[in-house]
Amino acid sequence: MAEPITFYFDFSSPYGYLAAHRIDPIARQHGRDVIWRPILLGAVFKLTGAKPLKDWPIKWDYVRREVARTARLHKIPFALPEPFPFAAVAASRAFYRLEENDGAQAKAFALATYGGAFAEGLDMSQPGNVARVATAVGADGAALLRDIEQPHWKDRLRAETDQAIARGVFGSPFFLVDGEPFWGAERLLELDSWLTSGGW
């Protein structure tokens, strides 16, 4: 099987949410796996001087409309959560903890976390909601919340974010295909063509 695609995202990113529904089916058509990598965009923004979508005047009005429009196109439910953006620290650490034992469960957890935030409007910065989502996909939510307080999982998330930055990631979603970077949910069609043609 060809090299897997790496999918970087922040759980608080609406474009990451949209991409999370689409990347695995696209990759599968090309015989590729996808490695999911939640990161904290806040740490990235400190380096680049970028700011959350909501903090851009004029642009934010467009982005709200555009995300909802793209969700309609792909028939993905969408509603902006409150608060937005939210700190996805607990959910991101939990992802890596779950992935250690069961990659499929970790992806199911990630999709359910995104769904909690952007389909059900839950505040997924709350550890209680993270535990509930984890339990719903078959994990032990209470044990998970204890685990992610260990330095190991805090360090892991920090290391993954640092590695993303070292690889040139500056936004969400961000894909790496055989070293080729693609930024943004709206570049999935280009990524698909890239996989079909082997690049250009």
- DSSP label of 185: G
22 touches its own copies by CB under 8 A? no
User: Judged by CB under 8 A, which stretch of 23-31, 96-104, 152-160, 181-189 contacts its own copies?
Assistant: 181-189
Cβ distance to its own copies smaller for residue 1 or 58: 58
Contact pattern for its own copies over residues 131 through 170, marking x by CB under 8 A: ----------------------------------x--xxx
Least distance from its own copies to the Cβ atom of residue 160, Å: 16
Crossing angle for the helix pair 89-101 and 151-166, to the nearest 10 degrees: 100
110: nearest Cα among 54, 68, 169, 173: 173
Least distance from its own copies to the Cβ atom of residue 138, Å: 35
CA–CA gap between residue 123 and residue 186 (Å, rounded): 26
Q: Which of 33, 66, 147, 192 binds its own copies (CB under 8 A)?
A: 66
Site for its own copies in 46-65 (CB under 8 A): 47-51, 56-59, 61-62, 65
Residue 107's CB: how many other CB atoms inside 10 A? Answer: 20
Least distance from its own copies to the Cβ atom of residue 172, Å: 12
What is the separation, in whole angstroms, between the first and last Cα of the chain? 21
Checking phi first, is residue 13 left (phi over 0); if not, alpha (psi -120 to 50) or beta? beta
97: nearest Cα among 32, 148, 158, 151: 148
Q: Which two tokens stand for residue 64?
A: 């709200």
User: Judged by CB under 8 A, which stretch of 24-32, 66-74, 122-130, 138-146 contacts its own copies?
Assistant: 66-74
User: Judged by CB under 8 A, which stretch of 20-28, 117-125, 149-157, 187-195 contacts its own copies?
Assistant: 187-195
CA–CA gap between residue 43 and residue 50 (Å, rounded): 10
Residue type, 110: A
- DSSP label of 3: P
Total binding residues toward its own copies, as defined by CB under 8 A = 32
What residues make contact with its own copies under the rule CB under 8 A?
A: 44, 47-51, 56-59, 61-62, 65-66, 69-70, 72-73, 165, 168-171, 181, 183-184, 186-187, 189-190, 193, 200
